A and B are shown apart, each in its own frame.
Chain A
Amino acid sequence: MGTINLKESSVTIRETRLGSITGFNGSAKELVTCAHAGKLKDSSRKFSQCMGCNAGHAFCQLAMIRDAVVVNHAPVGCAGDFFGFNFTYRVEQMKRELPATIGRYFSTCIEEKDTVFGAAKKLEDTVREAYKRTKPNAIFVTTSCASGIIGEDVDAITEDLSKELGIPVISCSCEGFRSKIWTTGFDAAYHSILRKLVKPPRKKNNKVNVANFWGSHIFDEFLNRLGYEAQYIVPFSTVAELEYISEAKATIHVCSSLSTYLGAALEQEYGVKEIKAPPAYGIEGTDIWMREIGKVLDREEEIEKIIKEEHERVLPKLEEYRKKLKGKTAYVTAGAAHGHAIIAMLRELGLNVQGAAIFHHDPLYDNKNKDSDALAQAVNIYGDIKHYNVCNKQAYELVNILNRVRPDLMIARHGGMTMWGAKLGIPTLLIGDEQFGFGYQGVLNYASRIVETIDNKEFVSNLAKHSTMPYTKWWLDQDPFTFLGGNTSVENY
């Protein structure tokens, strides 16, 4: 358990690999202590609302490789997310001044008869047609609940097609039911890239991998100053670039929930150093991260200079914001790693974080290093958070809690959650760019948006007046964790 094995055709799911959980109610400190002692148990819910699945998250990383296409081996409904990612792809092309290109994604449209007679032929036809239409440099085949249950040997089919077409045709096993933790989909995408695209280094270069979604390019200047070059992966990479991410000096994570599988695998297989400090959120967190960068990239002196400069630049401004935000309360809902980051940042700004509903929890990442635990670090620096709940994106629990807590501000990281703050008249903020809050400048960026949000009450208070609530009065009067059941052992899941 725990070791990364690139010979396996499918990635091992996070529940098994890391012991990750989706239900917990307690304090942050309890969670961290339990997790580090290897004693974390999952809780299941007797009532649940729809979540996300790992197929969508695998697609998220594969859909924007500039010269690859994706074939989704599934009924047409599973392709419902094609356009959303295509839209993001195109918006980000604009920011990067790239020509407008449409994402090339294909569905095999599994139908009833295919569930009886098999859909292998259909998959082959689709891959060939996709090749004919787009002449890509690689084709990824993502799987689905339907293809998984009918037992298609997608790995063997893609192997044969690779030989036939002379380009990598790569299976990515991401059946929706495989894992309760949808971030397993990120691991699945990286696993398929590592298995079939990435080659051993020819020689080492001075690039640093920045594993991210598609946020702004904030690392260019910083790494240049240190004599390195930022290489943002996986979205907006080309197949050829991905082949040699093994040659980089190190891998930086912007979001540990996203890319720690990739980081650990690149270190294990090719000696690419993984930056193990949690991503740089909050002043002290950024100091720790900077010093680790200095060590790994062998630039300790220069880093100390930057830390000093940045402290001088940022801290006085930060003090101003702290005064403005003094006494304000906040509630956070977000994915695991980014949730930890937001918590750190809010407390850096002096807000009182009344609680957090975080989607899942990984006890430790693939590197098994306790220093990588951002929540543990946040608890060490800023103290415990009493009401820390792992909520698996269950809106009904969140609404119940918000209705009691009524914070001055709610911060969300994912769509579909902000509305509940706003409907209750609570100013709510969602930041899409995952790098917006990164580093010293990030604290200021967040601070200014928070001040603006708390100040802007007109929209939410009017909306609250005219909103309906699909939750029963009975429910709003119950304990928010009424449906969170007994401890189910993760191993049994």
Chain B
Amino acid sequence: MSKIIEQPRFSCALGAQQTVIAIKRGVPILHSGPGCSNKISSLIGQGEGYAGGNTIPCTNATEADVVFGGERKLKDVINGAFQVIDADLYVVLTGCTSDIVGDDVGSVTSKYQEKDKPIVYVETGGFKSNNYVSHSEVVNAIIDQYVDKFKNNNGVKKGLVNVFATVPYQDPYWSGNLEEIKRVLEGIGLEVNILFGNESNGIEEWKTIPNAEFNIVASSWVGLNIAEHLKDKYKTPYVHFQYLPIGAIATSKFLRQVGEFGHLDKNKVEDFIKKEEEKFYFHIEKTADFMLEFRYGLPRRFYSILDSSYSLGFSKFLLNELGILPGKQFIIDDTPEQYKESIIKEFENISEYRSAEVEFNVDAGAVQLEIEKEKEKDFQEGRALILGSGWDRDLATKLNADLLITSVPVTYRLVLNCGYAGYNGGLRAIEDIYDRVLNTYR
């Protein structure tokens, strides 16, 4: 059976244009068909940001470019972009047309690189992969073609870390998540290159990537390619935390793992954790009576249709901190084979007392049909919680379940700085879940 997708929840390789937009004053230059950017923005781009959406320079490939090649046009558009768009970093990304026709984008771009223009290119023809994969490729290309030029001889800076935690915009809560991850890592004494969003110092921060003492990957598999690459290139070691840390248990575990790996002052780490946990559990304790006593129905089992980092992160959080039991979990991020086993293992040990079943399937249309069956089998009477996307509204209604939209497309929510990572994100998740539950009563 071919891989087909009903209800897509990620984009193609060119979707990494959003990775570039998430870099402060970064702008993608697309060498692609005229509609690509728009389609990507409409799935994973709530808000144009600084130079996204309709601002993105693009060669808008025509039939003539497909027949005769589009290199000259690309050169014109790059020239124009330098004149018209006020940015610190320009990243040329190709679409299907250029990659199938075989335009030599490298030779066009390298002319500018030789003149020390801040420009990078990556072949991201849509068919080549998806935006989970190409995110890492774009980051690596920026490191190789731009950051590396600024590598100084200052060597390793003690306490400086690069964080690779989430795919901007594909994770709709990337901005809030990164803000919180930076906050907690600073809390245990690190200096953090968060690289994307408002908390980052933009391209100047990127230039210090080679000086990091170590790298942190907080994600199931995305970002491991970057960390491996940096290990080869600059001998920077990395620590891998396998999911998005949501709530106190996971975040404390994350911080302890990082602290141990980086030989940080143990007292400082523990002091910070203690302070944060006190705050966190103050609120949990305050509302425990609600969770135990609310007699009109709270969700007792959850199903998720998420990428692996969110899936693991939320599953552990909901079970261990809120006592909501896992139904079957569905992972839709086209997880590469080599990472599946360790993810399954994490689900097998989801808590001290139980394991959870997980299935990998990119075709969320098929997944919905399965969840209907699962619910039937598992838990006929109880109220369910679904963690999914805007596509899952009818499913939730049909199963009489509560829906928290935590994956793209998020259209039914407006996201500013909301995040679910860390201690603060955990509290936010609890508020959001029970807010939706309570809202169902007349």
Contact = CB atoms under 8 A, between A and B. Distances in A.
B33 A126 contact: no
Contacts of A80: 8, 11, 15, 38-44
Contact of A177 (B62, B84, B87): B62
Given A84-B42, A106-B365, A393-B54, A47 B33 contact: no
A125 B34 contact: no
A104 interface: yes
Contacts of B127: 75, 110-112, 114-115, 146
B64 interface: yes
Contacts of A475: 83-84
Interface stretch (A29-37, A236-244, A345-353, A464-472): A464-472
Contacts of A78: 12, 35-36, 39, 126
B54 A416 contact: yes
A50 B54 contact: yes
B96 to A, nearest CB: 4
Interface string A317-333: 00000000000000000
Interface residues of A, number: 71
B100 A115 contact: yes
Given A47-B76, A87-B411, A177-B34, A125 B83 contact: no
Interface stretch (B103-111, B112-120, B235-243, B389-397): B389-397
B14 interface: yes
A77 B126 contact: yes
A150 B96 CA distance: 10
A83 B40 CA distance: 11
A84 B4 CA distance: 20
A427 B394 CA distance: 38
A48 B409 contact: no
Contact of B66 (A87, A121, A149, A473): A149
B36 A50 contact: yes
A150 B27 CA distance: 30
Contact of A76 (B2, B8, B34, B41): B8
A440 B11 CA distance: 44
Interface stretch (A51-59, A186-194, A266-274): A51-59
A172 B423 CA distance: 50
Given A80-B8, A112-B128, A145 B60 contact: no
A133 interface: yes
Contacts of B100: 115, 145-146, 149-150
B289 interface: no
Nearest to A414: B54
A47 B34 contact: no
Given A52-B34, A149-B96, A470-B86, A47 B79 contact: yes
Contacts of A106: 4-6, 365
Most chain A CB inside 10 Å of its own CB: which residue of B35, B56, B101, B366:
B35
Interface string B34-78: 111111111110001011011111111111111000000000110
Contacts of A110: 126-127
A99 to B, nearest CB: 10
A75 B33 contact: no
B1 interface: yes
A81 interface: yes
A182 interface: yes
B43 A176 contact: no
Contacts of A48: 57-60, 77, 80
B80 A470 contact: no
Contacts of A463: none
Contact of A182 (B35, B51, B365): B35
A82 B409 CA distance: 10
B203 to A, nearest CB: 15
A108 to B, nearest CB: 6
Main SS at interface, chain B:
helix
Contacts of A474: 83
A14 to B, nearest CB: 13
B5 A472 contact: no
B251 interface: no
Contact of A56 (B27, B38, B65, B366): B38
Contacts of B79: 46-47
Contact of A49 (B11, B50, B58, B101): B58
A254 to B, nearest CB: 23
Contacts of A150: 100
Nearest to B126: A75
A175 B51 CA distance: 26
B64 A417 contact: no
Contact of B57 (A49, A83, A177, A472): A49
B2 A122 contact: yes
Interface string A157-182: 00000000000000000001110101
A198 B320 CA distance: 58
Contacts of B7: 82-83, 105
Most chain A CB inside 10 Å of its own CB: which residue of B8, B13, B14:
B8
A483 interface: yes
A29 to B, nearest CB: 29
B202 interface: no
B4 A56 contact: no
Contacts of A379: none
Contacts of B409: 83-84, 87
A144 interface: yes
Most chain A CB inside 10 Å of its own CB: which residue of B3, B12, B15, B83:
B12
Contacts of B35: 50-56, 78, 176, 182
A121 B3 CA distance: 11
Interface in A446-492: 468-475, 483
Contacts of B77: 46-48
B420 to A, nearest CB: 21
A109 interface: yes
B97 interface: yes
B30 interface: yes
Nearest to A174: B35
A424 to B, nearest CB: 15
B416 interface: no
Contacts of A79: 5, 8, 39
A61 interface: no
B95 interface: yes
Nearest to A78: B39
A146 B4 contact: no
Contacts of B5: 76, 79, 106-107, 109
Given A50-B54, A79-B8, A472 B85 contact: yes
A265 B8 CA distance: 35
A47 B4 contact: no
B4 A176 contact: no
Contacts of B362: 109
A416 B6 contact: no
B411 A53 contact: no
B413 to A, nearest CB: 12
Nearest to B7: A82
A405 interface: no
A283 B175 CA distance: 50
Interface of B: 1-8, 10-15, 27, 30, 33-44, 48, 50-51, 53-66, 76-77, 79-81, 83-87, 95-97, 100-101, 126-128, 130-131, 362, 365-366, 369, 390-391, 393-394, 397, 409, 411
8 contacts: A49-B58, A50-B38, A80-B40, A80-B44, A122-B4, A146-B126, A182-B34, A470-B87
Q: Which 10 A/B pairs are nearest by Cβ-Cβ distance? A: A47-B80, A53-B35, A77-B12, A80-B39, A176-B33, A75-B126, A50-B58, A50-B37, A416-B54, A80-B43
Interface of A: 46-56, 74-84, 86-87, 100-102, 104-112, 114-115, 121-122, 125-126, 129-130, 133, 144-146, 149-150, 176-178, 180, 182, 393, 395-396, 416-417, 419, 468-475, 483, 493
Given A126-B2, A176-B61, A472-B86, 7 more contacts: A46-B79, A47-B77, A74-B126, A77-B36, A105-B6, A108-B4, A176-B97
